[in-house]
Amino acid sequence: MTDHQEQTRTAYDGVVDLYASLFADRLESHPFSRAMLTTFAELVRETGNLRVADAGCGPGHLTAMLHDLGLDASGFDLSPAMVDHARRAHPALRFDEARMEALPVESGTLGGVLAHYSMIHTPPEELPALLAEQARVLAPGGLLLVSFFATDEPDPIRFDHKVTPAYSWPPPRFTTLLTEAGLPPFAHLLHDPSSPRGFLDAHILSRLQ
Angle between helix axes 127-137 and 171-180 (nearest 10 degrees) is: 50
Query: Per-block average pLDDT, block size 10, for the chain (209 residues)?
Result: 83 84 80 95 98 97 97 97 95 97 97 97 96 98 97 92 90 98 97 73 96
63 belongs to a structural domain: yes
Q: What is the CATH number of the domain that holds 194?
A: 3.40.50.150
pLDDT at residue number 134: 98
Beta strands 157-159 and 166-168: pairing type?
A: antiparallel
- What number of other Cβ atoms are within 10 A of residue 185's Cβ? 17
118 belongs to a structural domain: no
| Domain, as residue range, for 138 | 3-20+29-112+126-161+171-207
7 belongs to a structural domain: yes
pLDDT at residue number 128: 97
121 belongs to a structural domain: no
Number of structural domains the chain divides into: 1
DSSP 106-150: -TT-EEEEEEES-STTS-GGGHHHHHHHHHHHEEEEEEEEEEEEE
The shares of helix, strand and coil residues in the chain, as percent rounded to the nearest 5, are: 35, 25, 35
65 belongs to a structural domain: yes
78 belongs to a structural domain: yes
Beta strands 51-55 and 72-77: pairing type?
A: parallel
pLDDT at residue number 10: 82
Whole-model pTM: value is 0.95
Instruction: Judge whether 138 and 53 are in contact, CB under 8 Å.
Output: no
119 belongs to a structural domain: no
pLDDT at residue number 178: 98
144 belongs to a structural domain: yes
